[in-house]
Amino acid sequence: MEQDSESSNFKVTSAEHDLKLLALLERHLGLPKSLLHRWVRTGQVRRNGKRCQPFERVAQGDLIRLPPFAFKLKGLDNKMPQLGPLPRLIGSHADLLCYCKPRGLPTHGGTGHLDSLAARLQQAFWAAPFIPVPVHRLDRDTSGLILVATTYRALRRTQEAWQNQLITKEYLCWVWGKWPYKEPRLLIDFVQKIGAEGHMKMQVIDSLTAKEARSFVTPMQICAKASLLLVQIGTGRTHQIRVQLAHAGYPIVGDHKYGAPTNLPLYLHATRLILNDGHEFCNFPEWDGDWRVPHLALPVPLYF
């Protein structure tokens, strides 16, 4: 938003075009949603001089009027806790940034941890007209490529492509055991969350309520005790790669949830993303010792 220095009026920028009004206010004021909703409902917030609705979408150039005391209540300017630096930037394309998230860093904050990629983006871009936001997520212990949108239009466009499986997603992982297939192999399972809240895990299950999980597995290096696999996912189920490989008898090294207990970290890395316009991001994991991965010639993606 572009602020009029003499009032509480703001203009919606091109990066914020099509954002819902309530979300716009929430992002830039950091105040409780219930309070902002009440301001809109009682007419204290105006769009282009007229009363408005909290969930209507704003357009570039719209003039938003706020109560004169709004920014006195905000109280958040430059007071965020100092977090770690942003992960390494791999590249950018069409209002998207691509970062390499290290394992151990959550994509979003949650119970017990304030640090996350989303929080670091908010800290680094606090003065931007649209604070960049992750398009998708990786598990905390999974490293690799993650897309970040710098405009709301890019966020909606890319999330829609992601949900419709129009973006190719490939992972490298080490699994325990000698992988028995030399050619790419399609794994199809039906998975479902099992267990109480807070202790849920995915399981391959024969049930009408289970959801299909599809993964193409290509062996990159087969050894007696462990194998390096390239996995392209055709569906986006929770822990899909981990549960499918464990069900096949080849759990990912370091996966204490679906494999045997171990002190090793999880060796799972999002290594390549190909957007629906053909643009490609690629990054290899920086694993050491016996788990080191050279810069391989990745095969042409398979299509489901």
pLDDT tens-digit map of 270-298: 999 999 999 999 999 999 999 999 888 99
Residue 109 confidence (pLDDT): 78
pLDDT cut 70: percent of the chain above it:
91
At 20, is the pLDDT very low, low, confident or very high (cuts 50, 70, 90)? very high
Please report the domains of the chain, with CATH numbers, ordered by start residue: 2-74 (3.10.290.10), 88-158 (3.30.70.580), 169-291 (3.30.2350.10)
Q: Is the pLDDT of residue 73 over 80?
A: no
At 171, is the pLDDT very low, low, confident or very high (cuts 50, 70, 90)? very high
pLDDT cut 90: percent of the chain above it:
67
d(CA 295, CA 282): 10
Active site residue 18: no
The whole-number average pLDDT for the span 35-64 is 90
pLDDT tens-digit map of 105-131: 999 876 566 789 998 998 888 767 788
Residue 63 confidence (pLDDT): 92
Bridge partners of 148? 97, 134
In 3D, which of 168, 212, 165 has the Cα closest to residue 191?
212
Q: Which of 4, 139, 141, 277 is catalytic?
A: 139
Q: Is the pLDDT of residue 16 over 50?
A: yes
d(CA 71, CA 94): 33
The whole-number average pLDDT for the span 182-194 is 94
Residue 6 confidence (pLDDT): 41
d(CA 56, CA 24): 11
In 3D, which of 71, 81, 70 has the Cα closest to residue 38?
70
Residue pair 223/178 in contact by the 8 Å Cβ criterion: yes
Question: What element of type H or E holds 27?
Answer: helix 21-29
Which residue has tokens 């794994």?
187
d(CA 116, CA 268): 19
Rounded to 10 degrees, the C-alpha dihedral 179/181/184/190 comes to -70
Bridge partners of 269? 143, 172
At 78, is the pLDDT very low, low, confident or very high (cuts 50, 70, 90)? very low
The whole-number average pLDDT for the span 130-148 is 95
pTM of the model: 0.79
Instruction: Indicate the average pLDDT of the chain.
Output: 89
Distance of CA 198 to the CA centre of its chain: 21
> Rounded to whole angstroms, what are the CA distances from 211 to 115, 204, 206, 236, 237?
32, 9, 10, 10, 8
Residue 124 confidence (pLDDT): 85
d(CA 257, CA 105): 18
Q: Decide: residue 230, CB within 10 A, 0-12 exposed, 13-18 middle, 19+ buried.
A: buried
Q: Is the pLDDT of residue 3 over 70?
A: no
